[in-house]
Homo-oligomer: A and B are copies of this chain.
Amino acid sequence: MSEAAGGAGEQTVEELVADVFRRACASREALEHVTGKWSLLALSALAESPHRFGELRRRIEGVSERMLAQSLQTLERDGWVHREVRSAIPPHVEYRLTEDGAALVPHLLGLISFVEARMPAVQAARASADEVRRPR
């Protein structure tokens, strides 16, 4: 990511297609796809093992059928997830990470673990921020 990530100052061809700070950059869209509310959780669930649609739906509390299907389609289209239909009636569809997906997921899991570990600090920060705004 040009400066922010690499620190390298030189302008490369890469930057034209891979600078998230740029409005119309494809990488920004791709990033949003994987960090989406439900996509993030779906990828995390698939990190454990392949899952069927219904399994994912039950695993990810609060996701609707519609949003899960939509998220999985986007992830499949971007090449992070593979969708495999095993039979037609009744349908048996299994989702699994692609190689790219398997390489991506550790980054997401690391982020999730970090945030979960810092939750006490986050809640403390919120409490003190709210206290200032609403001084009883």
Contacts and interface: CB of A to CB of B under 8 A. Distances in A.
Q: Which 7 A-B residue pairs are closest in the complex by CB-CB distance?
A: A79-B125, A23-B61, A18-B116, A23-B62, A35-B35, A107-B111, A77-B129
Main secondary structure of the interface of A (DSSP, over half): helix
Interface string A46-72: 011000000000011110000000000
Contacts of A100: 118, 121-122, 125
Interface of A: 1, 3-6, 14, 17-23, 26-27, 30-32, 34-35, 37, 40-41, 44-45, 47-48, 59-62, 76-79, 100, 103-104, 107-119, 121-126, 129-130
A116 B78 contact: no
Contacts of A129: 76-77, 79
Contacts of A3: 48
Contacts of A125: 77-79, 100
Nearest to A108: B111
A107 B31 CA distance: 13
Nearest to A98: B125
Nearest to A78: B122
